[in-house]
Copies of this chain bind each other. A is one copy, B any other.
């Protein structure tokens, strides 16, 4: 067991523990020689400072909290987990660790508890809602935090995919290829990401001289049943292409279409605003937008730690994307 402490080092080396502490942290003036000596000793004896003790002394935990929705459907799980991996990577390089905070829809008690306990130095919010209670709690608390996703709350540091550009680009490409009547299906519209994607969709319409009135909208489709109903209605109303806000929607639409014996893209085209690896094996492959959740998480954690260190950070960072055209919109 690693039971050696800073006192042991000081005693063995015949110096004060202040000097040892300074040698380790690099703060304050220290002769190169003394510092070398301490560092060598540490290496040789495999000493690791106790982060709890350091935490107590500096009122820091060297942990960041990751608020992850505990109630999301299975399809979004990989997305969240990949952002989590990215966060861990970023945290690691700064010697931080990641602590989990489960959130359920409107129940923010887990987060509140964590804030009261002061077990984290900052928080990353994995998903944003309209009128987000988590954001309110975080603001009120004053702890540094960054959100992944958009928000119209002022003074919130955000990292997000550039959904607007991405969705508008994909939408206009579809239109320019001669498809005229589009249907848009999305889930819970209280989630900011669904609002943003809708906005991008409309922008894409407008870029091609159309407006929202020229398309069909099915929002708040949370269950498979609702999505299937929307699909049915879209087809009956003459939609030529169904644009799905995410892969969960796309999957349900695909199942429905195959059950009805519709052929893609002959009978109806389909595109998705989020491409998870889970859809990639579909026949035909689905036109979609490719993001990098891992990078998203990385950026969020990196930004957060910079904030914790008192650095100035960019208030809103948008990451890139790639529109991938495939057989489903040929």
Q: Is the CB of A119 within 8 A of B51?
A: yes
Q: Is the CB of A61 within 8 A of B70?
A: no
Q: Is A290 an interface residue (CB 8 A)?
A: no
Q: Is A281 an interface residue (CB 8 A)?
A: yes
Q: Is A13 an interface residue (CB 8 A)?
A: no
**CB-CB contacts below 8 Å: A75-103 with B:** 75, 77-78, 80-82, 84-85, 88-89, 92, 97-100, 102
Q: Is A212 an interface residue (CB 8 A)?
A: no
Q: How far is the CA of A63 from the CA of B65 in the complex (A)?
A: 13
Q: How far is the CA of A81 from the CA of B97 in the complex (A)?
A: 18
Stretch with Cβ within 8 A of B (4 or more), from A109-117, A174-182, A203-211, A229-237 = A109-117
Q: Is A48 an interface residue (CB 8 A)?
A: yes
Contacts of A283 in B (CB 8 A): 255, 258-259
Closest chain B residue to A63 by CB distance? B99
Contacts of A84 in B (CB 8 A): 100
Contacts of A88 in B (CB 8 A): 70, 100, 102
Contact with B along A141-177 (1 / 0, CB 8 A): 1100000000000000000000000000000000000
Stretch with Cβ within 8 A of B (4 or more), from A52-60, A262-270, A319-327 = A52-60
Query: Looking at the complex, which one of B70, B73, B81, B116 makes contact with A48 (CB distance below 8 Å)?
Result: B116
Q: Given A1-B142, A82-B77, A278-B278 in contact, is the A98-B99 Cβ separation under 8 Å?
A: yes
Contacts of A119 in B (CB 8 A): 51-52, 63, 97
Q: Is A276 an interface residue (CB 8 A)?
A: yes
Q: Is A21 an interface residue (CB 8 A)?
A: no
Query: Looking at the complex, which one of B81, B142, B258 makes contact with A80 (CB distance below 8 Å)?
Result: B81
The majority secondary structure among interface residues of chain A is helix
Q: Is A251 an interface residue (CB 8 A)?
A: yes
Q: How far is the CA of A33 from the CA of B316 in the complex (A)?
A: 54
Contacts of A80 in B (CB 8 A): 81
Give the number of copies in the complex: 2
Contacts of A277 in B (CB 8 A): 73-75
Q: Is the CB of B255 within 8 A of A74?
A: no
Q: Is A252 an interface residue (CB 8 A)?
A: yes
Distance between A305 CB and nearest chain B CB, rounded to angstroms: 15
Distance between A230 CB and nearest chain B CB, rounded to angstroms: 16
**CB-CB contacts below 8 Å: A235-290 with B:** 251-252, 255, 258-259, 276-278, 281, 283
Q: Is A50 an interface residue (CB 8 A)?
A: yes
Chain A residues within 8 Å of B, Cβ to Cβ: 1-2, 48, 50-53, 55-56, 61, 63, 66, 70, 73-75, 77-78, 80-82, 84-85, 88-89, 92, 97-100, 102, 110, 114, 116-119, 141-142, 224, 251-252, 255, 258-259, 276-278, 281, 283
Could you list 21 A-B pairs, sorted by A, with CB under 8 Å?
Answer: A1-B141, A1-B142, A51-B117, A52-B119, A56-B56, A70-B85, A73-B277, A74-B78, A74-B276, A75-B277, A77-B82, A80-B81, A81-B81, A84-B100, A88-B102, A89-B102, A97-B99, A97-B100, A97-B119, A99-B99, A99-B100
